[in-house]
Structure 1
Amino acid sequence: MDQIDRRSRTWRRRQARRAEIISRLGGEGGLTAHQRELVDLLVGLGQLVEQFQAKMAAGQEIDAERYLSAVKEQRRVIGELDLPKASAPLPNIRERLAAASA
């Protein structure tokens, strides 16, 4: 992670997603080290799943086994973190892809 350009749009989106998850968990101060690790894992998995979905939407082939594995692991981590349900509707795939290309 030390070699990542922290000025990039990808890094800013990653940090925004991380901040949102931490906020939904009650803030950084209330998290254990294990929970912080899970949050970072969840953010990375979210980016991976998003990349697979963008490729599918563009009509490119993907490794379905790797995609499903990432989705299952993402769901497992969400369950382990016991994230509260979102109060606002979640964006659909078109909204996520539009945000990813922005």
Structure 2
Amino acid sequence: YGTCGLFSYRIGERRFLVSFYVYSNNRNEFAIGFIPAGTTLDDQLYKGMRFADWAEKTDRRKVNCQAPILEGTVEFGSYRARASMKSAKKAFLTILISNAHQ
């Protein structure tokens, strides 16, 4: 048991997306990605962040991170997002979004 969620930020024509799962046994995981700004935030997207393979999709990118390696980087277009999470009951997720071409 634990806590899970999905949130996003609009950045230009893209939406930066974060899904997270914080378990009581410290086996945390998260996913970060970029999707088109008009994409609906729904249960299908939430499940897709965790389970779907987006490798063949041209309009979105993501990376999934699970304990013990809770660090990931995803690039899409001119954006780069890096994230890391502590593996503990009180998890802290740190995110840095920057220009991928600098």
Does the TM-score normalized on the shorter chain lie above 0.5? no
TM-score after normalising by structure 2: 0.24
Greater helix share, structure number: 1
TM-score after normalising by structure 1: 0.24
Answer 1 or 2: higher relative contact order, Cα 8 Å, separation at least 6. 1
